[in-house]
Structure 1
């Protein structure tokens, strides 16, 4: 029997040659890789213009709150001065004109109230609270002005000047002007006067022996 060996036979034969583009059995499909980042482009999160890394908060400006806090810090020196005055002049001499007796007749109460007001000013969390505390402070300073005079001209002069300067500082405390140093200047002046008052009362206490 004759076999067909011509082209027709070749066309009907199965071609078992593997296709190099076809995956083999058990072979994983290739996974497309993400494109590599272009050189020179930052992959950091977007930042707000002018902000530090990762939207870090900007350095706070010197606001009215901060300026007020600085002034209050200066005013807090008054507490130590006034309390030292009260403690050092606690003389129970029978003389009703002694400075120690002035403390017993309203002076000590005024000093205690000033201390309380200063602490409230220092603890105020925002400018609105500081304004409220300063307003109360001013009112109580004016009440202290209404007390009878200290029975010593020099001590009374320092007390009066210190109260007046502190009132001016408390008034300036309510004005949101970050460029002004009036409040700090007034409180510093008040502190100077109260320090001199303390020195004078200590001298009177020693002289009273």
Structure 2
């Protein structure tokens, strides 16, 4: 039984399996990597019950997704949600947060209150961003860029869920239950326990969610 538990503790989430949907306002698309509870944003008609641009579902404790911004658009308001956004495209991403301009370089993260007035600015072509959104009353979260220079071990604190999102370069991952082989861009490893071994020369994102005690 312990072996089966170890295998379930580290799971690969291929980018090809990320669930895609249009934003409710029709201004873009997003791909859901994971959410808690799973499928929390899926309505009975098979459409995502999300609002805005790849924003949080209407009820989950947290969600991790990659959104595509094609133009300058207004983000939806989500009181009670803490949001972190990482620019993934080479040109970065411009934002306006409560009237203040913010220019994100590639891999840079902006954190803001879900109730803030936020919009993208200066977008001239499809731009990707990685979003971590957590219910403030139930979870806390973190999102940061990381580097694999030859090899790197990743662990997760007790009770936490850690995600390793492959962003750029060459990367392989080894761990209980993982099939060997190179990762593709935006493939993600979900880590509930144990140790994940990464090898290669790559840029990764490290997202983590932890429930409040």
Shared fold (TM-score greater than 0.5)?
no
Task: From the two aligned structures, give the one with the greater strand fraction.
Answer: 2
Q: Which has the larger radius of gyration?
A: 1
TM range (shorter): under 0.3
Task: From the two aligned structures, give the one with the greater helix fraction.
Answer: 1
TM-score, with length taken from structure 2? 0.22
TM-score, with length taken from structure 1? 0.23
